Amino acid sequence: MTASGTPAPNIFKDNAAALNSYRMDFPGEIGVRNSIRGPGYFGVDMGVVKTFKITETHQLRFSWETFNIFNNVRFDALTANTGIDQSTSFGNFTKTLTVLRKMQFSLRYSF
């Protein structure tokens, strides 16, 4: 649960079953490597540019760029809580890999 009372996104479908399958490493063990893999990164950016000729030497250029155009949310598996001593928040994500959709516009006059 988050501070607002809504359920936090979790990497596991069944939190209790996932918690029971983990164990602490024994002395001398180096542990398992890459035990949790995330969904990966996905992002699409787009840009549109139009140049208007005013005279032979003067032009006006308009550009519009959008980042994360589909506004996808991908959670960062490296920030998932995997401490087996915290059973209530086990597997909860704390950060995302992607940022919210951002747009920028520009207008350039060349002479």
Q: What digits encode the pLDDT tens for the residues 12-56?
A: 888 778 777 777 777 887 766 656 777 778 889 999 999 999 999
- Whether residue 49 lies inside any domain: the answer is yes
- Whether residue 10 lies inside any domain: the answer is no
Q: What is the pLDDT of residue 46?
A: 96
For the chain, the domain total comes to 1
Per residue in 45-84, pLDDT (tens digit) is 999 999 999 999 999 999 999 999 999 888 888 888 777 7
Instruction: Give the pair of three-digit tokens for residue 19.
Output: 């918690």
Note down the domain range covering 72. 15-110
For every residue of 7-44, DSSP letters joined together read: PPPBS-SSHHHHHHH--PPPTT----SS----------
Q: What is the pLDDT of residue 70?
A: 93
Instruction: Give the pair of three-digit tokens for residue 96.
Output: 């995302």
- Whether residue 60 lies inside any domain: the answer is yes
CA 108 to chain centre: 32
- Whether residue 8 lies inside any domain: the answer is no
CA 61 to chain centre: 32
- Whether residue 2 lies inside any domain: the answer is no
